[in-house]
Structure 1
Amino acid sequence: MPITPDRKRQLVTAALVAPAGLWLFVFLVLPFMAMVVFSFGERAPEGGYQAAFTFAQFANLPSRAAAFWNTMMIAPIGAFLCLIVAYPVAYYLAVKSNPKYRLVLVSLVVVPFWTSLLVRTYAWMYILGSRGIPNLLGMIGIENVRLLNTPGAVLLGIVYGYLPLMIMPIYVSLEKLDRRLLEASADLGAKPVSTFFGITLPLSLPGVMTGVALVTILLLGEYLIPQLLGGGKVFFIGNALVDLFLQSRNWPFGSAIAVTLVVVVVIVLSVAMRIAWKVSGSRQVDLV
């Protein structure tokens, strides 16, 4: 029986998608299924997992309420601060910068990713520590300033670490902006502020929502920045997971927290996609 063109296209598509699908199934779906199974188990006497079927781990989630609260409060604030800093940068790169140097400027935004986040965070530990900015402030008479191990230090590290992830989606949206719309707005007598809020901002909202969703979702599982810049005083869900899996070896409880975190991420992503679709009208919005 001859293969029709449509059937041939379907087979080619399946062959191209199969490796990625297999990769996601093995390294994403199977580990998540294991976490779900563990979350209904019990901690073995020597630590780890012991087979059982109980909801006790989920009932114990309030004991880690502080980690959930810190994460749910600081992660959106960090994403918002990233947006405040990133939008002017992306706007300058996409609209105002010289096209001749635009590629170089965009490359400079990506350059920090070439260095380990651990190294960059340690640099901020020195800057915010007693021998950094507080020492300089002490020289001019401002004593007893503590910057490290505070929520402010964690937010600063978040903005510094995740800023490129916010800039790039917004830059892509602004770079695709039809300049004729801006020229038409100016010809019709609109002020620059009116043009920005009436044309530029609405057309860039898909990129804004993409950046906000991307940064927020990654921050929900952040561990390194609160550990180093928060000094154990700003506890995220990621820190709770490391403690449960590596220190107390309570795998079922850690799995319950991880499963809950995944559910929260899915909800955040769904809400963000819904909001982005509504505010952008019929324009396509891609968040992942």
Structure 2
Amino acid sequence: MKILVTGYNGQLGFDVVKAGLLQGLDMIGLGINDLDITDEQAVHSAINRIRPDAIVHCAAYTAVDKAEDEMELCRKVNVDGTRYLAEAARAVNARMMYISTDYVFNGQGAEAYAEVDQPAPIGQYGLTKYEGEQVIQSILENWYIIRISWVFGINGNNFVKTMLRLAETRSELSVVNDQYGSPTYTADLAKLIVDMIQTEQYGIYHATNEGICSWAEFAEEIFRQAGKEVKVNHISTEEYPTRAVRPKNSRLSKDKLVICGFARLPHWQNALKRYLNELNSKG
């Protein structure tokens, strides 16, 4: 099976290619310098040349705060780029997986969102990712949508790396304690993605590592496992204002994974332990 992965420079795209290669699949990773997904002609040319059996679309505009000011660019990448890829996929009869986000929901309440719950994004990033979901469903018959949250991986920047960097110079940090979600290791997620795209179990899925925590609790566990003496002060979202509103509830129900025969991902604390080992092994 030949699988094309967009966003190869990012955390998830990098690990998806790696996971596919481990399974002996023909993996082609394209980064931003290889393919500008906002260039319709370039997208059609690349897909027609490569003729993949499947596309895993990891590339996205993910700068949540900047998206509020760069609305046009955010839409070009997340909506138009997705449309061009979907149309190109249809032309070569390739199935396509779209990586979406917890930000398609408004983050209210304390219940886990199910795949069938109606999205109601509260910012430009979430809105464009939801519009990307709609694009995929309107153009293709064979599609998957996987909504993910709080990702961390070896290739790129993330919350874990930020906390470890700050721990080098700080003995005390203030971290938001009223936003809840599931930290998700891209290496675990990538294996699921590669397994899923080889099946015909199409549809919308939620996929995160197991367990729930706040950002403050996540930070505390990072420091505990890394052996860093850093005090974490728990603060409210209101005490840490950002340009874009963050969902306070990013809990996602993963029941559909099990119903469709896929294994749940390991607990986030276990994932963090393996990730820190991976970071250490890289030096």
More helix by share: 1
Answer with 1 or 2: which has the greater Rg. Answer: 1
In the superposition, the TM-score normalised over structure 2's length comes to: 0.25
Q: Larger relative CO (CA 8 A, sep 6+): 1 or 2?
A: 1
